[in-house]
Amino acid sequence: MKTSLSILTLILLIKGSVAAQVNIKVNIRFKDTIVVDKYVPDNNGFSNLKIKMDPGEFEINNPEIIQKLSNQTIVGVDLVYSDYPVGDDFSELNRNRILELHMNLPEAFNSTIIKWQLVKQTGVEQTGNIQNYFHGFVVYYRPMLTYQSENASITEIIEGKKPPQDSTVLKVVSRNSTWKDMLVVCDVTGSMSPYTAQILLWIKSNQTLKTFKQIVFFNDNDEKSTNQLITSDQSGMWSIESGNSKKVIETAFEAMEKGEHIENDLEAICYAIKKYPENKQNVVLIADNWEDPCDMALLSFLKSQKIPIKIIVCGVTDRMNTLYLDIAYATGGSIHTMEQDLIDVAKIGEGKTVKLNGMKFKMTGGKFVQM
């Protein structure tokens, strides 16, 4: 059975000289509570930082950690408490802790793929000394790379001095050898540098295959990413014909250096099909699994254009961002991970399930939910 912890329209007291009412709606669904003697953070390949709270309290003891997390890509949050006194109801305490985190680190609530875990420690009854147990939040994140480190890492991969960290893009384009003259729309925010390197390596090594015809790199500096419906917004967009690998590499580096950490995937697709309308049936989106597109409002427009979007989703592990399944479903497109291609996503009916990378997804109300 799954349990959920929801906080609906609660009145909070804002710290300061004047009390005010604030309505916050936070809905978080936890899987069944994890029970351990004493909590140890997961060794899941991500970095983590601890937000500490005293036993039975919800105020943050180390607020300086919040600043370190504010510009990172958060992928998971563990809420850790102790079952002591044994059998007490800690739901109100945990609600208050979540609200405290929401007020200080809203970034922990703004992505569909962030994994929340509720962890109950039971060891205090046997060992005593509750102060030896951690209480509060452990936030897992992907560190944001600097442009200099991105540049150096990509250059080493292109020059064959080291292999890619994973081979998602290389494996997908190798499997789909019929793809020719594709219009590629590629996310080049900091977290995507391993996959950007693979595209550039493929272009440099396989120019005769002509897999890619045009490339639009996106790394927007403006969250108002619905402008493509009104006017042509070229900020955060860099486009190039891919015949000359050296020029493509230079354009990619320029996009990485000048852009910001905003995933404007759909705006970039709209820009690409306006610039290259003759090739709009061959769109390939190379997207970051761990970030939500900020411009899903454009999906209905793309659906109306009947443009099938092939989406290479990079960084898929035990979770997949279902927004990319929604995009493929709405546009009649497909999903491609390192291990598998999911074709004809639009044919998945309401209430039906589909497996991808060992995960199961269900179509509910026109959207996908990971089971």
pLDDT per residue over 61-118, tens digit each?
A: 999 999 999 878 899 999 999 999 999 999 999 999 999 999 999 989 888 889 999 9
Return phi, psi of residue 104, to 5°: -100, -30
The whole-number pLDDT of residue 220 equals 60
- Does the pLDDT of residue 269 top 70, yes or no? yes
pLDDT reported for residue 233: 56
User: Does residue 4 carry a pLDDT above 70?
Assistant: no
What is the pLDDT at residue 20?
Answer: 37
Q: What are phi and psi of 268, to 5 degrees?
A: -65, -40
Least confident of 25-34, 42-51, 139-148: 25-34
Contacts of 266 (CB under 8 A, 6+ apart): 225, 293, 295, 296, 298, 299, 302, 327
Query: Domain extents for the chain?
Result: 3-142, 147-370
- What contacts 126, CB < 8 A, 6 or more positions away? 37
- Indicate if the pLDDT at residue 342 is higher than 60: yes
Q: Which CATH architecture has domain 3-142?
A: 2-Layer Sandwich (3.30)
How far from 181 is each of 219, 247, 281, 285, 297, CA to CA, in Å?
23, 17, 11, 14, 28
Within this chain, domains 3-142 and 147-370 share the same CATH topology:
no
| pLDDT, mean of residues 189-193 | 79
Count Cβ atoms below 10 Å from residue 336 Cβ, excluding itself.
27
Residue whose C-alpha is closest to residue 74's, from 33, 102, 93, 34: 102
Distance CA 80, CA 208 (A): 55
pLDDT the model gives residue 26: 54
DSSP of 193-218:
HHHHHHHHHHHHH-GGG--EEEEEEE
pLDDT class of 5 with cuts at 50, 70, 90: very low
pLDDT at 122 over 70: yes
Question: What is the C-alpha separation between 371 and 366, in angstroms, rounded?
Answer: 15
Task: Using pLDDT thresholds of 50, 70 and 90, give the confidence band for residue 154.
Answer: confident
pLDDT of residue 151: 82
Tell me the average pLDDT across 124-152. Answer: 89
Collect all residues with Cβ–Cβ distance below 8 Å to 286 and sequence separation of at least 6.
169, 184, 185, 186, 187, 192, 195, 199, 312, 314
Q: For residues 172 and 185, what is the distance between their CA atoms, to the nearest angstrom?
A: 15
Tell me the per-residue pLDDT of 222-236, one tens digit each, with 9 for 90 and over.
Answer: 455 445 454 455 667
> What is the predicted pLDDT for the residue at 219?
77
Cβ proximity of 65 and 50 under 8 Å: yes
Bond from prior residue into 143 cis (ω within 30 degrees of 0) = no
State pLDDT tens for residues 155-167: 888 888 888 888 9
- Statement: 147-370 belongs to CATH 3.40.50: yes
Residue 174 pLDDT greater than 60, yes or no: yes
> Whole-prediction pTM value?
0.85
